[in-house]
Amino acid sequence: MSDERATAQGGMDTSFGFKSVGSGEKQGMVDAVFHQVARRYDIMNDVMSAGLHRVWKDAMVTALNPPRHPGFKVLDVAGGTGDIAFRIVDASHRQAHATVLDINRSMLGVGQERAEKRNLSENVDFVEANAEELPFGDAEFDAYTIAFGIRNVPDIAKALKEAHRVLKRGGRLLVLEFSEVQMPILDKVYDAWSFNGIPALGKAIAGDGEPYRYLVESIRKFPRQADFARMIEQAGFDRVRWTDYSGGIAALHSGWKL
């Protein structure tokens, strides 16, 4: 499976899961997937990861450690239904301000409803835009987070450059993404679950297994940990490191704009 992975040198902009697609086609296909899954997205996350996504997201926010005083501005890109933004605002004792940016109106709509229910509308705003062309000036944010989003972006290098541009000096980039499993037996179990269990569950719960097949395949196309770290450095970030979660099923990459 790992042979499918892209390297830091390229190959990411012409794949939709395991299919090769023409450059420029990918975004439309990704958008169709997330329009289709938006209403079931949160429940499917729990089912597909057996709740582990919550642990990984909590660990990401612990790594960010948002200050408990006003003024901290975070941009959560591909923020979808708001999971990361809500956690950051909670961790800051409602002092931080989070902007959830996503290209998909259906995902943002679910996020807005959730923010209202949690009384978080003052701390969180929602922006429909592309990670590759952020509608913000230079050096506006203290932190840029993106969870399980970057592998869906057709031009990852461009998105990372935009991340660097909108961060203040001293600002932090945190990228949580599915990655390459580093444990010999776990990788076999994970493969069986991913390629058989997840699409079958998608069909049973959400009525169609195909969007979930894309999600699984796109994970395998994403660069392995060291290659992705190199891409982050190439975008201008310093002190780039990563931490594997659950044997590398997910990894948190961190970089600083110094």
Ligand X SMILES: C[S@@+](CC[C@H](N)C(=O)[O-])C[C@H]1O[C@@H](n2cnc3c(N)ncnc32)[C@H](O)[C@@H]1O
Binding residues for S-adenosyl-L-methionine, as ranges, are 81, 102, 130-131
Rank residues 104 and 225 by Cβ distance to ligand X and give the closer one: 104
Q: Which of 6, 107, 115, 160 binds ligand X (CB under 6 A)?
A: 107
CA distances from 101 to 39, 134, 167 (A): 18, 9, 15
**What is residue 185's three-state secondary structure?**
helix
| Binding flag, residue 231, ligand X (CB under 6 A) | no
CB of 145 to ligand X, least distance (A): 8
Question: What are the DSSP calls for 56-108, one per residue?
Answer: HHHHHHHHH---SSTT-EEEEET-TTSHHHHHHHHHTTS--EEEEEES-HHHH
Cα separation, 10 vs 8, whole angstroms: 6
Give the nearest residue (CB) to ligand X. 80
CB of 78 to ligand X, least distance (A): 3
| Binding flag, residue 49, ligand X (CB under 6 A) | no
CA distances from 67 to 62, 72, 172, 176 (A): 11, 7, 13, 20
**What are the binding residues?**
81, 102, 130-131
CA dihedral 35, 91, 133, 153 (to 10 degrees): -50
Site for ligand X in 161-220 (CB under 6 A): none
Using N-to-C axis directions, what is the helix angle for 105-117 and 26-37, rounded to 10°?
40
Rank residues 92 and 130 by Cβ distance to ligand X and give the closer one: 130
CB of 51 to ligand X, least distance (A): 13
Q: Which of 17, 66, 79, 223 binds ligand X (CB under 6 A)?
A: 79
Residues near ligand X (CB under 6 A), total:
21
In the stretch 123-142, what mask flags binding to ligand X with x, by CB under 6 A?
A: -------xxx----------
Contacts of 177 (CB under 8 A, 6+ apart): 146, 147, 148, 149, 150, 151, 222, 228, 250, 251, 253
CB of 69 to ligand X, least distance (A): 26
Cα separation, 76 vs 84, whole angstroms: 7
State which amino acid sits at residue 64.
Answer: L
In the stretch 142-171, what mask flags binding to ligand X with x, by CB under 6 A?
A: -----xxx--xx------------------
Q: Which of 16, 60, 66, 80 binds ligand X (CB under 6 A)?
A: 80
Q: Which residues contact ligand X (rule: CB under 6 A)?
A: 27, 30, 34, 77-80, 83-84, 102-104, 107, 130-132, 147-149, 152-153
